[in-house]
Amino acid sequence: MVSIKFPKPDEGFAVLVDLDRCIGCRACQVACKEWNGLPAERTTFTGSLTSPQSLTAKSWKVVFYYEGVTKKYLLTPAGEVAFSQIEISSLPFNCMHCVEAPCARACPVGAIKVTPEGAVVINRDECVGCGYCQMACPYDVPKRGDDGKFYKCTFCVDRIQNGKEPACVEVCPNRVFTFGPARDIIEKARQEEAKGRKVYGLNVDKYVGGSVRWIYVTSERRSFAIDRHFADKGKPVAVQEVREVLKPLVTIGGAALAGVLAVLGFVAWRRARVEEKK
């Protein structure tokens, strides 16, 4: 297996996402497409504001919308009246850039790089399309493209290395995203947590290294978005099983292993394409 050096949790960069400030305008989603040169894709009407319905190889950032019921109180001449109100909370989502990324640990050919900035990046030229990164990801992020290879958010590491913020951070009209050194962002998140706000990303499963670089914060009133979006995410999945499957293949040798995995990736890609046509 490929040896990977992960930056420490407080090294590199991170982002604090304040959901209370998000107005669901999708400027971040559009900026991601523009900066990365990602094409538009055909979507279908589902009755939800979320479009597309999940991350794809052509949509590396998607704003998800969740409905929740909050209790309100109205003071009337007859006294205080309680009533329920439907509230919609938007949640911008992309790769979480886990501190110890399971996808990078699972990739048998080392196609997923972890930079000193903390960005977890798939090298397209090295990806053989085996799909083990997708199986290992607890957030269902890597997606197979039309060419059989996998794609996801790069943390705009090309921008970061040139002194700029990620594209989505830069364009947000309501300052939802706070980008900076991981140490500072972690401290900000802890301060918000101490104020009674809900935080996701500081203390997650050790499977991802105990924390992620995209940290979410919100008030209790809108916490249902975090609860629903991350309810079944961030937990251990298939990395160990992947390693066990690969053990007998590793002895074959690097080139032969890559060939075997490329064939497996092609088969998986063809199967996915056939399913899409049905």
Annotated binding site for [4Fe-4S] cluster: 22, 25, 28, 32, 95, 98, 103, 107, 127, 130, 133, 137, 153, 156, 168, 172
Return the residue matching tokens 């040139």.
162
Nearest to 34 by CA among 26, 43, 42: 26
Core vs surface per residue 101-117: b (16+ CB within 10 A) or e: bbbbbbbbbebbbbbeb
Known binding residues are 22, 25, 28, 32, 95, 98, 103, 107, 127, 130, 133, 137, 153, 156, 168, 172
Q: Where are the alpha helices (DSSP H) in the chain?
A: 27-36, 102-106, 132-136, 157-160, 167-171, 182-194, 223-229, 239-250, 254-277
The encoded tokens of residue 23 equal 């107005």
Q: What are phi and psi of 83, to 5 degrees?
A: -150, 160
Q: Cβ distance 171 to 264 under 8 Å?
A: no
Q: How many residues does the chain have?
A: 278
